[in-house]
A and B are shown apart, each in its own frame.
Chain A
Amino acid sequence: MQVVIPEAFTIRHQDVVTRYLADDRQLNSAEWQLLYQGIDILDTAWFQTEVGTYTFRQLYQHHVDDYLATPYLERLLALDDIEAQSPKLIAEFARRIAPRLQQAGLLLPDAPPTWLFYTYCVYWWQNFARGYAFEIQIVRDLRASGIELHTHDIRDPVERRSVADLVVLNMTGDIKTSTYFLRLASSHGLLNDFYVTRLWAGKQQRMLVVFQKPAAWETIDGDTVEGELFDLLHLLPQPVKLQQGDTTLIVVDYETWKRRVLQVQRREHDDE
């Protein structure tokens, strides 16, 4: 068995991955970019075995996603308080990865390149697990707020991969943590009308926001103020229009967005 890491994955990528694992709060903008680039390169690293060649991405799918995703989601959906209870569950499932890979001969104490594969698996698992905890938390909050919505069934492995997580006011939307949101933007572009995500607003503070295409924002009837990328946090909770090149997005604070959606849905009911 041989592990082949593409030459494009340099010592700088390995360095930033190591520092990310130790403490991600120390990374600067260029290093985050380097980290995401390194993880993307590892998608195409591969194991050469007696029975064939398999990329990290394929092996992750088989040994981690196929193995853990559905039982994890069943347990996650059964939790009463996602925010408080999910971290323990996420870690419990992440700790199942090493024994699984060891059993498959894909994590060996004396073969450091296999550690990169294990790191890759844990990185994606944590993102997957946190991503769905966030999605369920938001969906529950939207329902509790009285917003009418349709959601995909995350128990179904096919439906789970649908382009949109939910539909509100005939607009398709996605609920994504920042890492998945960036990955999606790089690989597929933004296909939906809106994206609920959370931003780091400071060392300890997270802020829920909704990114929308201009047409989606018009649907819920909103004015905006023009903003630059660097001053978004100062302008929120006002709806902010960000424009860079050909791309325009409206960023609005989540609570404001919910209020506007609710108003439109109530107006529609009154008109019926």
Chain B
Amino acid sequence: MSKQLTEMGYTEFQELIENYIARSAQEDDAVPASTFLELLFTALSRRVQNIVRIEGQVINDELIFLPPKEETPLQVQGNQILLGNLRVVVTLKRKLQPT
């Protein structure tokens, strides 16, 4: 392992950053295409694995979510799903009445 960032003198650190600024202003990160693809598909497959299943019932024409059966980061409340500061409100579309 080479000398760590926080083990350098301040002047040496400033030089390192200045060289980085000059170089990275010119070019993207030099991630080889094969590495990029590997990281991309790994990231996407991880996301696909993060599936949270919830069930709902239609009661008196209203969609009501049931509490998740397993531990998840989301909560449900009636027809709403709460995740962090996000509130997803799901409303059923009424069927058109035949004329």
| A25 and B30 contacting across the interface, CB-CB below 8 Å | yes
The residue from B34, B44, B48 contacting A29, defined by CB atoms under 8 A apart = B34
| B29 and A112 contacting across the interface, CB-CB below 8 Å | no
Q: Which residues of A contact B (CB under 8 A)?
A: 11, 14-15, 17-19, 21-22, 24-25, 28-29, 32-33, 36, 86-88, 90-91, 94-95, 98, 109-110, 112-113, 115-116, 118-119, 122, 126-127, 129-130, 134, 177-179, 181-182, 185-186, 189-190, 198-201, 206-207, 229-230, 232-233, 242, 244-247
Sample (21) of A-B pairs whose CB atoms are under 8 Å apart? A11-B4, A14-B6, A21-B19, A22-B19, A25-B30, A90-B25, A94-B25, A98-B17, A112-B7, A113-B6, A118-B17, A126-B21, A177-B29, A178-B31, A185-B47, A186-B46, A200-B28, A229-B38, A232-B34, A233-B34, A246-B48
Q: Give the docked Cα–Cα distance between A247 and B47 (Å).
A: 10
The residue from A28, A91, A247 contacting B21, defined by CB atoms under 8 A apart = A91
Interface string of B29-59 (1 = CB under 8 A from A): 1111111111111011111100000000000
| B24 and A126 contacting across the interface, CB-CB below 8 Å | yes
Given contacts A91-B21, A179-B29, is CB(A186)–CB(B47) below 8 Å? yes
Enumerate the 5 nearest inter-chain pairs by beta-carbon distance, A residue then B residue, closest first: A112-B6, A91-B25, A90-B25, A244-B41, A199-B33
| B33 and A15 contacting across the interface, CB-CB below 8 Å | no
Q: Give the docked Cα–Cα distance between A113 and B13 (Å).
A: 12
A190 contacts across to B, CB distance below 8 A: 44
| B47 and A189 contacting across the interface, CB-CB below 8 Å | yes
Interface residue? B86 (CB, 8 A): no
Q: How many A-B residue pairs have CB under 8 A?
A: 140
| B33 and A18 contacting across the interface, CB-CB below 8 Å | no
| A126 and B25 contacting across the interface, CB-CB below 8 Å | yes
A87 contacts across to B, CB distance below 8 A: 25-26
Nearest-neighbour CB distance to chain A for B24, whole angstroms, equals 4
The size bracket of the interface on B is 35 or more
Interface residue? B1 (CB, 8 A): yes
Nearest-neighbour CB distance to chain A for B46, whole angstroms, equals 7
B21 contacts across to A, CB distance below 8 A: 91, 94-95, 122, 126
| B36 and A178 contacting across the interface, CB-CB below 8 Å | yes
| A19 and B2 contacting across the interface, CB-CB below 8 Å | yes
Q: Give the docked Cα–Cα distance between A182 and B3 (Å).
A: 28
Given contacts A22-B16, A181-B40, is CB(A230)–CB(B4) below 8 Å? no
Q: Which residue of B lies closest to A113 (CB)?
A: B6
Given contacts A15-B1, A126-B24, A229-B34, is CB(A115)–CB(B13) below 8 Å? yes
List 14 extra interface pairs beyond A29-B35, A91-B22, A94-B21, CB under 8 A: A14-B6, A18-B2, A22-B16, A29-B32, A32-B39, A33-B39, A119-B17, A126-B25, A182-B36, A185-B40, A189-B47, A198-B28, A199-B36, A233-B33
Q: Which residue of A lies closest to B39 (CB)?
A: A182
B32 contacts across to A, CB distance below 8 A: 29, 200
